[in-house]
Amino acid sequence: MHKVDVCSRSGGFDQTVEVIVVGAGACGLIAALRAASEGAEVLILERDSSPSGSTSLSSGFIPAGGTRFQKPAGESADSAEEFAKDIQAKSHGQSLHSHVQLACENIAGAMEWLADEYSVPWIVLDDFLYPGHRFHRMHAVPEKTGEALQARLLAAVQQQQIPVATESRVTTLYTDAASTGEGNSGATNVAAFNSNGQRITGVEITRPDGQHESIGCEALVLACNGYGGNQGMVERYIPEIANGLYFGHPGNTGDAVVWGEQLRAELEHLSGYQGHGSVAHPHGMLISWALMMEGGIQVNLQGKRFSNEHGGYSEQAVNVLAQTDQLVWNIYDDRIHRFAEGFPDYLQACNAGAIKSADSIEALASITGVPSGELNNTLRAVDDYRSNDSVDPFGRGFGGDKPLHAPWYAVKVTGALFHTQGGLVLDDQCRVRNTDGTVMQNLFAGGGAACGVSGPEVSGYLSGNGLLTAVAYGYVAGGAAAICVRDGGSANRGQA
């Protein structure tokens, strides 16, 4: 793994551009589109040979409150304010208030701008609600995959002739500040820099063959996601998920956090993350949580339920990993199976043979290896909760669910880390804040590189918080970076 660091340098670069964007996932592509639309010369630097990021791996569902696309779904009452309330309710008020505001106040505008300027054809998923969302506000491209979302954004970038330099991993940020020589920033043992008034002057990229190149810039946007792909950082900041599967993009190795530490930037909620309690094992495919929201249950290898499945899929990662062999079964019926067939990733799991079915509970027990008697008891108890004969000890309200019956379906799943939520703290223009209260005038961040809106705990993640900040912050950061270039970056220099 290449060393990532910060060095002093003021000129003599191999080339210069106005705005550099690091990372070509949703955040970077949107930041680049916005900066270019405001007249800036932009270069995207991406470490992979073909840009994909976690964005391609995702389901591509982007929550936005108050868009015009929600109106046909009858959700005119949704707004930035209502969305912000749901985000804070999920994290018990622990999300950074300013970041929630920044995301919620900009996401609807960003989505409409992408539709109007780049013909991204948003649809709204109006057939079920993810835990914690009171409105149908999940937007997606018609293919309903992150891969298609990424492809559409990349096509827009190519159409605008914005260059994407691939196989260009940014390894060094250059600053005009002198090193204080103090070293040891927590993750690294390198020089730290005096943040007050410092500016980013450029970056160094490292090619796969070890060649280096320096590129100067007037503004820099960090869109290189978080540290899910850096096992050492996960162990340090989120030990509870360190033994779980990492299901995000391996190239997200925490570079923004390492640079932030050296630059004395403010970092928050490094223990926050998006987990998921339903990744097919051993196939490694996401099984939509819609199965649980539609009435499915999870049982462990002993055939017992172990949690409230409607609490949220993120915190369910930890609950699942606490079970024997870190494995459990999703149990549901034919009605839910047919509903789930509307999700491309579920169809993939069917094709891969991950989904089992049986005509009786006994046959299901035999296929899954779960004790038949206990599985019977569990399903009978769920029937009782549904008919209000008894109360679920885990607190799930089964009242509105339809009864489950044969034919039965099951899929073996494990818990996983999808992406980290901690990162750089931003001001209302997505400029990186320093620990001394000043801001970096020409350093911007968004998506998983920035502190998210989920607070410090896994349970704070409301579905869609990941792409929310990738899209909204990318949109704001790109616009602000272009303005910074236009103004020579001198406005309010050093002020918070």
Ligand X SMILES: Cc1cc2nc3c(=O)[nH]c(=O)nc-3n(C[C@H](O)[C@H](O)[C@H](O)COP(=O)(O)OP(=O)(O)OC[C@H]3O[C@@H](n4cnc5c(N)ncnc54)[C@H](O)[C@@H]3O)c2cc1C
Confirm or reject binding of residue 169 to ligand X (CB under 6 A).
yes
Tokens representing 203 are 């970056």
Helices (H), 220-343: 231-237, 255-263, 290-293, 313-321, 334-340
Confirm or reject binding of residue 23 to ligand X (CB under 6 A).
yes
Among 9, 55, 124, 217, binds ligand X (CB under 6 A): 55
Q: Which segment (20-28, 154-162, 237-245, 360-368) binds ligand X by CB under 6 A?
A: 20-28
Among 65, 464, 478, 479, binds ligand X (CB under 6 A): 464
In angstroms, the CA 364 to CA 161 distance is 55
Give the nearer residue to ligand X in terms of CB position, either 13 or 385.
Answer: 13
Ramachandran area for residue 447 (φ above 0: left; ψ -120 to 50: alpha; else beta): left
The binding track of 225-254 with respect to ligand X, each residue x by CB under 6 A or -, is x---------------------xxx-xx--
Give the nearer residue to ligand X in terms of CB position, either 249 or 396.
Answer: 249
Give the nearer residue to ligand X in terms of CB position, either 137 or 419.
Answer: 419
Confirm or reject binding of residue 224 to ligand X (CB under 6 A).
yes
Confirm or reject binding of residue 122 to ligand X (CB under 6 A).
no
Give the nearer residue to ligand X in terms of CB position, either 288 or 434.
Answer: 288
Confirm or reject binding of residue 58 to ligand X (CB under 6 A).
yes
Q: Indicate the SS3 state at residue 140.
A: strand
Instruction: Kindly list the distances between the CA atom of residue 429 and the CA atoms of 27, 253, 262, 303, in Å, as whole numbers in the listed order.
Output: 15, 25, 22, 51
Tokens representing 457 are 């705990």
Question: Would you say 405 and 295 are in contact if contact means Cβ atoms under 8 Å apart?
Answer: no
In angstroms, the CA 248 to CA 241 distance is 13
Q: Show contacts with ligand X in window 422-461 (CB under 6 A).
A: 447-448
Confirm or reject binding of residue 466 to ligand X (CB under 6 A).
yes
Give the nearer residue to ligand X in terms of CB position, either 51 or 489.
Answer: 51
Among 18, 36, 46, 264, binds ligand X (CB under 6 A): 46
* Least CB distance to ligand X at residue 193 (A): 18
- Nearest of 55, 445, 57, 468 to residue 268 by alpha carbon: 445
Among 17, 57, 361, 477, binds ligand X (CB under 6 A): 57
3-state secondary structure 54-119: HHHHCCCCEECCCCHHHHHHCCCCCCHHHHHHHHHHHCCCCCCHHHHHHHHHHHHHHHHHHHHHHC
* Least CB distance to ligand X at residue 446 (A): 7
Q: Classify residue 112 by burial, with Cβ atoms within 10 Å: 0-12, 13-18, 19+.
A: middle
DSSP sequence for 172-234 = EEEESSPB------SS--S--B--TT--EEEEEEE-TTS-EEEEEEEEEEE----STT-HHHH
Confirm or reject binding of residue 31 to ligand X (CB under 6 A).
no
Confirm or reject binding of residue 379 to ligand X (CB under 6 A).
no
What 8-state DSSP symbol labels residue 401?
P
* Least CB distance to ligand X at residue 72 (A): 21
What 8-state DSSP symbol labels residue 328?
E
Confirm or reject binding of residue 286 to ligand X (CB under 6 A).
yes
Confirm or reject binding of residue 61 to ligand X (CB under 6 A).
yes
Number of residues that bind ligand X (CB under 6 A): 43
Tokens representing 281 are 């094992």
Give the nearer residue to ligand X in terms of CB position, either 257 or 361.
Answer: 257
Q: Indicate the SS3 state at residue 389.
A: coil
What 8-state DSSP symbol labels residue 419?
E
* Least CB distance to ligand X at residue 247 (A): 5
State which amino acid sits at residue 276. H
Confirm or reject binding of residue 307 to ligand X (CB under 6 A).
no
Q: Classify residue 393 by burial, with Cβ atoms within 10 Å: 0-12, 13-18, 19+.
A: exposed
Tokens representing 298 are 């999870």
* Least CB distance to ligand X at residue 377 (A): 33
Give the nearer residue to ligand X in terms of CB position, either 47 or 305.
Answer: 47
Confirm or reject binding of residue 22 to ligand X (CB under 6 A).
yes
Confirm or reject binding of residue 45 to ligand X (CB under 6 A).
yes
Confirm or reject binding of residue 199 to ligand X (CB under 6 A).
no
Confirm or reject binding of residue 470 to ligand X (CB under 6 A).
yes
Instruction: Kindly list the distances between the CA atom of residue 165 and the CA atoms of 109, 158, 253, 363, 461, in Å, as whole numbers in the listed order.
Output: 28, 12, 19, 54, 33
Q: Which segment (25-33, 87-95, 334-342, 488-496) binds ligand X by CB under 6 A?
A: 25-33
What 8-state DSSP symbol labels residue 5?
E
* Least CB distance to ligand X at residue 378 (A): 28
Q: Which segment (47-55, 117-125, 385-393, 400-408) binds ligand X by CB under 6 A?
A: 47-55
Among 13, 118, 385, 418, binds ligand X (CB under 6 A): 418
Interface ranges with ligand X (CB under 6 A): 22-28, 45-48, 51, 53-55, 57-62, 169-170, 223-225, 247-249, 251-252, 255, 274, 286, 418-419, 447-448, 464, 466-468, 470
